[in-house]
Every structure is written in C-alpha cells, then in structure tokens.
Structure 1
Amino acid sequence: SGARQLLAHVEVSLARAERERAAAEAAKTRREQELTAARAEGRGLKGELDKLTDSVHRGEVLGAEKRMRIEQLEARALEELGVEPAVLMAEYGPNQLVPPSLPAEGEELPETASGSGSAAGDHPRNRPRPFVRAEQEKRLRAAERAYQQLGKVNPLALEEFAALEERHQFLSEQLDDLKKTRADLLQVVKEVDERVEQVFTDAYRDTAREFEGVFGRLFPGGEGRLVLTDPENMLTTGVDVEARPPGKKVKRLSLLSGGERSLTAVALLVSIFKARPSPFYVMDEVEAALDDTNLQRLIRIMQELQEASQLIVITHQKRTMEVADALYGVSMQGDGVSKVISQRLR
C-alpha cells in the first residue's frame, strides 16, 4: 500500500509538471510573438523617425535657400532700384491691398446684386483687394505663360518694322500701278475687241452680199450664202458656206462634186476680193478642175477684177492665157538649165 501511494503521488507530480511545462511553453510562444510585434513596431517607428529627420533636414535646407534668396532679392532691389527692402515691404508687402487687375486663368469674378445701380468703379473687381497668395500665384503663372508666348525680345524690331513699312509702301504703290495698268490694258483690249468686231461684221456683211452675187453668176439658178455659226459672239464665231448648185437640193460642201467645190471656193475667194479690193491678186490654178462652161464664167469675173486690180494667175488653161495681158513661163533647154521667157499679148 505504501508503494501505491508513492506511485500515485509521483503521477500527480508528473501531471502537475506537464501542466506547468505547457503553460511555460505557451508563455514563451506569447512572449516571442510580442517580441516579434515589438521589433516590427520598432522598425516602423525607425522608418518614421528617418522620414521625420529627412523632412526636418529638407525644411532646414529649404529655409536656408529661402533666406539666401531673400538676401539676394534684397541686395538686387538695393542695387537696381536703390530702394531699401523695408520700404518695398511697406509698399508692396502682403499686408498691402492688391490693385485691380484682370482675373487670372480659372479665377471667377465675384457676383454683385443685380439692379443695385452701382457705377462700374464700385464693382468689386475694380476695387483693391486683400493679398491672397493662391490668387496671386495664379496671376503670376498666367503672366509667365503670356510672357513665354511673347517669345524673345528683338532689339532690332523697330528698325525691321520701319524697313518692312517702307517695303510695304513701295509694294502698295507698285500694286496700285499694276492695277491701273491692268485697267488701262483691259480698256485697250475692250476697244480693240469692239474695233475687231466692227471690222469683222462689216467685212462679213460685204463678203456675204458679194458671195450671193458671185455664186449666182458662177452657178446660174443656184443659191449660195455665208452663215455664222455663233451670231451672238462675233469674235469667236465661225463661218459656214452653204452652196446649192442648180438642180440640187444639197447645201453641204462635202456632198458636192470636186468641180462644184472648187468653183464654190473660187466664188468665196472672188467675193473677198470684191468686198475688200487690193492692188493685185495671186491665183494658183484655181480653175484647174473647171470645165469649159464654168471656166468661161470665171474668166468673165477675172476680167471685171482686172479693171481695178492686177491679177497674177498661175494656170495651164489656154483660155485663161488668151485673156492675159502678158505671159511668163519657164522653159528648160537642152543643157538642163531653166530659163524664164515672157510674152506681152496686149
């Protein structure tokens, strides 16, 4: 029984020791977790401390730069303007009212009650306002942008402007002269066109009248006339020849025989001679395709032209030669040399 009691006592002691060991391990684990959290918090606090230290350092550097900038501005104001910084601060410091100016970009005008009847000078925009750094920074940025848009200042701008103005005046005078010359030329062209139109109209009417008579003589019983293709525009119109020999209904020249076309062309040529006489005329075998009857009619017309002008006719027709006053020919002798011979008939 004593051994059993001892064994039970030992077992109780072991169980108590196990519980104490488990509690110790749990406490150890808890302490390790707390230590890990404390270390992490320490690292975070160290990072924040570094940031704060860096921020303080930057603040000190920025403050030193600002103090240096202020000292430079004070020295510059005293050197360039001859004004003490205290005087500038008294006149233009942040405690002074800002004079009226145009609103900065993005700045809104304050609204006033409508119908108050206040004058323009009483508008809040036209009155000095307290200094507000944000507003003045907006105006400064707007002024800097406007200044950049102006570009670099050209010290020779006045001289260049004077030269360009002189050049502009010279070119303007030249342009005025050109406009006047153009107007004069247009007037001359108009007068020439009117003169050409009048001369052509008169010549056409005279030639058309003569053509009807000459055609009737060369084609007894036939009809022929000249027709304008565009009577409304005498400067660009064409002239068609309508010819109807006796016994035919056609008027187109392409449907006439070779002799009829040749005689119609001769009729037009003679009509021009009669409408606008010349000291002499030259005809080159105009009657080569004519028969004896038509040739005789043409010879009679040539004799009429011969009364007022001199005719030079190149021909192989004997009947044409018979009415000539003089004959000129080219003969080749046995030696192969051409020789001009002449014979006066009248």
Structure 2
Amino acid sequence: MNIDIKNEEMNLRNLKNKIDSIDDINLSAERELIELENKINDVIVEEKDLNNAAKKLEKAIEELNKEARNRVVNTFTNINNTFSDLFKKLFDGGKAYLELTDSDDPLEAGLELMVSPPGKKLQRLSLLSGGEKALASLALIFSTFINKETPICILDEVDAPLDDFNVERFCNLLKDASKITNKKFLVVTHNKITMGYMNKIYGVTMSEPGVSKLVSVNLDKIAPEFAAE
C-alpha cells in the first residue's frame, strides 16, 4: 500500500486549520433555543388574542353603528314631522322638511332645510329673507326641544330679528311647547311683547352708576289686567 506522506500531511494541516477556525462551542445553545421557542410561542398566542380582541371590537363597533343609525333615523323622522307641523303653524301654511344630503349613511350625511313659505317655491333656508330664516329656524329649534329629553331650554334673544306680528307667533308657539312638553323655557329678551307672555321676569337694573341690582316679577301673581298692560 503506497501512501503519499506529503499529501497526507497537507490534508492533516488543512483539517487542523478548519478545526482552529471553528468558534468556541456554545454550551448553552440548547437552553437558549428552548427559551427562544417559548418566546415565539408566547408571541403567537398574543397575536391570536389580539386578533380575537380586534374581531370582537369590530363587531361591537358594527353593533353600535347599527344602533346609532336606528336612533338617528328615528329621531330625524320625529323631528322632521314636528318641524313640518310647526313651520305651517308659524307661517300659516306652506311646506317644509328636513333632508339628509351627501351620503346614504345617516351617520355621515349632512342636513338641509327645504322650505316653502306660502306663495313661494320650495327652496333652501339660506335663500329666505332674514325674518323668514328666523321663523324657520325657530320651528327647527322647537322641533328639537319637543323631541328631546331636556328639562330646560334656553333661548337667547331669538326674537330679535322678528317684527311684532311674528313675535306674537313666536310667543304662542312658546306657550304651546311649554304645555306639550312640560319643560321650562328660559328666554333672554329685550322685547316687551315677549316679556308679557312670561310667567316670571328677571331683570338687571343699575340704580346708581357701577351698582347693579337684580329684580324679579312673578306675573302669575299679578292681576290679569296689570299683566296685560
């Protein structure tokens, strides 16, 4: 058997070089592998939990949106019907209704007031005169109050743009709304006609410069002839 000594020595050196080039053996590699696998499993479990939570949240949002849409549609229908009736009462006729715009989804839709005072064509609220806008807006405000569970309603100088004739209409509407809903209305006004329709009046007077004084009058306790005056 012939052996090439030089060749074998070269192979031996190559093997030694390969062995020397190998890094130190990590004796804890198996333990680290197990720990890493456990972490991966934990992440997988957390991912499943998050996916399940996301699905539950999406379902809850869908149910909430469905309930919200139903409430919006029902409230819109009630307010729309009341608005139409009050508009006719304030204008002695005509036609008015609310219209959802820009989207089929009631949660994202806009709102437009379509009105037609007696003798005028159907048009948007923005095209009416100042007094007509005020009356139509009052019809919408009272429609909301009548259909909403609120114990008190505050009206701040809403009669300012109205002439005396329409102030009377506003006051009669206020009386009717108070009887229908049994709610309290707090009206801020400078109009004497409006004051005459109130049950109680509160005012601020300045008897001397820099000194304000609050005064009140209970019209329910005053004789009708004085209240009328």
Within 5 Å, which residues of 2 pair with 1:87-236? 155=26, 156-230=28-102, 232-236=104-108
Q: Considering only aligned residues, what root-mean-square deviation do their CA atoms show, in Å? A: 2.7
What is the 5 A alignment of 1:1-346? 67=5, 70=8, 155=26, 156-230=28-102, 232-307=104-179, 308-346=182-220
Runs of 4+ in structure 1 off by over 6 angstroms are 151-154
3-state DSSP of counterpart to 1:179: helix
- Which 5+ residue runs of structure 2 have no aligned equivalent? 13-17, 221-229
**Structure whose CA Rg is larger:** 1
* Larger helix percent: 1
- Map Cα deviations across residues 50-106 of structure 1 (whole Å, 9 max, x no partner): xxxxxxxxxxxxxxxx735636878xxxxxxxxxxxxxxxxxxxxxxxxxxxxxxxx
- For 1:181, the aligned partner's letter is A
TM-score normalized by structure 1? 0.56
Identity %: 32
Is the 2:79–2:144 contact (alpha carbons within 8 Å) kept by the matching residues of 1? yes
Partner Cα distance (1:262, 1:281) in 2:
17
Distance 2:145 2:137 in 1: 13
**TM-score, with normalisation over the residues of structure 2?**
0.82
Higher relative contact order (CA 8 A, sep 6+): 2
Gaps of 5+ in 1: 1-65, 75-143, 145-150
Q: How far did residue 238 of structure 1 move?
A: 1.3
Aligned residues: 210
Partner secondary structure for residue 242 of structure 1: strand
Larger proportion of strand:
2
For residue 333 of structure 1, give the secondary structure of its aligned residue in structure 2.
strand
| Shift in Å, 1:276 | 2.2
The change in CA–CA distance for 1:248 and 1:152 in structure 2 (over 3 A counts) is farther
